[in-house]
Amino acid sequence: MTPWQMEEGAERHRRLLEKAAAEPASGGRQASFSRPLVRGEVDVSHGRILYLEDVHVSFDGFKAINGLSLDIAPGELRCIIGPNGAGKTTMMDIITGKTRPDRGTVFFGSTIDLLAHREAEIATLGIGRKFQKPTVFENLSVYENLELALAADRRVGAALRFRPDGAQRDRLSEVLVTIHLADQVHRQAGLLSHGQKQWLEIGMLLVQDPRLLLLDEPVAGMTDEETERTAELFRGLAGRHSLMVVEHDMGFVRALGGKVTVLCDGAVLAEGSLDEVQADERVIEVYLGR
């Protein structure tokens, strides 16, 4: 057994989890310890894992989302691009239950109506979201961050009692390799580079085995090498997971190689390969420039 797979002492483990439960993760968002729903299989028999149709939402008269319709296939890697104010973040807010649309349809698979669930519930259904700024527990080690994320029941009492079994420890080791942090397992998360913190947060989502990952500008602030390794990571995740990646870095989008959706004024302006959307006169006019 590798050293990082050995179970921490019960008392130290209890103190660390208690501290993590009491303090917000870096990034300013409080960690969630709500009671999870029972996660079931997502019905993708119709060939779509995410489906939005004619979605509208306004803020004080401003139409942030204006008739948005799009769908994503199981295992697909989709990039979302567009100018600032196009509705990219609002779209993710709607999918995760943070924002309620004025009208429209939003389904996860063919049977789960996301508009019928609250934000905390949606997080347990198999949808993971990563914000632009990494959110990790900086006073805990890389391994402890992943272990905390793995706890199935995140209420404080249950989290304090949680101990990963052999299969779960194997899963943690697998994720450490996937996110390029196997050699940083005991390092305090606050000492990681910006890019490594991004990978750690992605790992915290992966240990929960989400079917759909929503990733908001994941390579912002990364070095060129970190950006290349992140593209490699995402390509490796596609197939087992569906990924929606919001990004402005066209080099990174090209490296991912997936279908690209261009949003503008709260609706889909164009879709296709990166070469196809870059050649679209409408996209050039509103986003890429000449």
pLDDT (tens digit per residue) in 39-60: 557 888 899 999 999 999 999 8
Mean pLDDT, to the nearest integer, of 15-19?
48
Range with the poorest average pLDDT among 20-29, 104-113, 224-233, 249-258: 20-29
CB neighbours (10 Å) of residue 200? 26
**For residue 223, what pLDDT is reported?**
93
The pLDDT, as a whole number, for residue 13 is: 41
Residue 73 CB-density burial (10 A; 0-12 exposed, 13-18 middle, 19+ buried): middle
Determine whether domain 3-288 maps to CATH 3.40.50.300: yes
Whether 159 and 151 have beta carbons less than 8 Å apart is answered as: yes
Angle at 91 between CA 286 and CA 271, to 5 degrees: 50
Higher-confidence residue of 126 and 8: namely 126
Residue 103: strand pairing partners: 56
In whole angstroms, how far apart are CA 266 and each of 49, 57, 65, 76, 84? 21, 9, 4, 22, 11
First to last CA, the chain: 57
pLDDT in the model for residue 25: 52
* Residues of the chain above pLDDT 70, percent: 80
The dihedrals phi and psi of 280, each to the nearest 5 degrees, come to -75, 125
Residue 5: per-residue pLDDT: 36
Min mean pLDDT across 35-44, 64-73, 90-99, 204-213 is at: 35-44
